[in-house]
Structures are given as C-alpha cells and as structure tokens.
Amino acid sequence: MAEVNITAKKRERIGKGSAGKYRSEGWIPAEYYSSHDDNQHLLLYSKDFETTLTHSHGLLNVAVEGEKKSLLCVVKDVQYEPIRGHVLHVDFQGVRMGEKITVNVPIILQGNSAGVKAGGILEHLIREAEVECLPKDIPERIVIDITALQIGDSVHVKDIEQENIKILDDPDETILLIEHPRIEKEVTAEEEAEVEEELTEPELIRERKEEEE
C-alpha cells in the first residue's frame, strides 16, 4: 500500500502541563518508539493529523522539521477526548520494510444484506482485526460484502480471506450476524382479562374488609 506523508516537529517540553498547553495551541503530543531507531517526542498539527487518521490507515511517513531522515511508522495507539472525540495523544511504532509487524485494521461492511431487507437485524460485533504482515502488505481496511447474507447467517474471523496477512484474532469469534426480527408478543383477549382481574382483585378484598369493619 502507498505511504501517507505527514509532518511533525520535535517536542521540547514533556509532562501533563506542557501537553495541555500544546493542545490549546493546536498541537497533538506524540511519541515515536522504535527497536532500531531513537525514540522521539513529537508534535503533530491537529487538523492535518485528524484528517489523515479519518481517511487512512497503515504506513505513515513522518517528516520531522529540521531532520533529513523521515520516520517510517504505523499508528500504535490513539487517545481520544471522551466528549468531543478530539485526538489527545498518539503513539507511533517504527517499522522496517522487511520485518513483520502487528497492527489493527478496521473491518468495513459493504452492501445491503438481503436478510436486513427482509426484516432482520444486523449486529456488527467486531470492528477491527489484529493482523500480522510485512509493512508493504498492511491493508487500509478489511471489506466484508454482506449483500447475500440472509436472516440467521453470520461471519466469523476464520471466514476472512485476505492475501499476505495473518489474522491473530480467535478464528471462531463472530464478526457480524443477521438476527431474526424481534416480534412483540400479541396479547389475547383472555390474557388481558386475566391481567385486569389480577389488578382489580386487591381492591375487591380491601372493600370487603372495610364492609366487615
């Protein structure tokens, strides 16, 4: 897959207080970790990176201001602000093109299920898959076509067919299923009468007691 280019600059100050100040100025604090390179404290342009994160997954080529060498990496972890969903912090993992890595890849559903059209309910249970592969083979997404799925059908991890990657999740784990529609039970006239009798019976007993007194 193609690399996505983003820019960053070195972060001079670290700590919670400094991180909060950077965020107020429109920056996202980030950490770059690598087994074959120096770790680095970075700052990302908030708007640019959030756009990149929304539209792209996989290899990133991070150009650090003042550095000749770019950092080839993947996003390892992202922390979000719980209310507005803004990115608070990012961890990058450095990669080498010839070494396999482990990354999370989004699972996207495609098409309109025949079962849903017939009244079934779609349950999308797993939205990411953990995969192992070479950096060049990282998929942007795993796409599952649900068009032919009928009510009662399901898709498991073992059903995914993707070249050049190994999926590390439990093969028997359910990714999605088309459930039967939930039908509300119709109450018969007899059942309504029984409920009404149960509700009025205590009142009748109370009235009898008052008469006896």
Same domain, 161 and 86: no
Of 64, 95, 126, which closes a domain? 95
What is residue 179's predicted lDDT score, i.e. its pLDDT?
95
* Comparison of pLDDT for 9 and 191, the residue scoring more: 9
Same domain, 85 and 118: no
Same domain, 116 and 205: yes
| pLDDT digits 0-9 by tens, 24-60 | 898 999 999 998 888 999 999 888 888 887 766 678 9
Of 95, 126, 146, which closes a domain? 95
Nearest to 173 by CA among 158, 153, 161, 151: 158
Same domain, 108 and 189: yes
Same domain, 52 and 88: yes
| pLDDT digits 0-9 by tens, 173-196 | 999 999 998 765 555 666 666 656
Same domain, 150 and 202: yes
Residue 1 CA to residue 12 CA, distance in Å, equals 33
Q: What is the domain-level CATH number for residue 184? A: 2.170.120.20
| pLDDT digits 0-9 by tens, 48-99 | 888 887 766 678 999 999 888 899 999 888 999 888 888 999 999 999 989 9
Range of the domain at 109: 97-213
Same domain, 56 and 141: no
Mean pLDDT, the chain, whole residue set: 85
What is residue 189's predicted lDDT score, i.e. its pLDDT?
62
Total domain count, the chain = 2
What is residue 55's predicted lDDT score, i.e. its pLDDT?
64
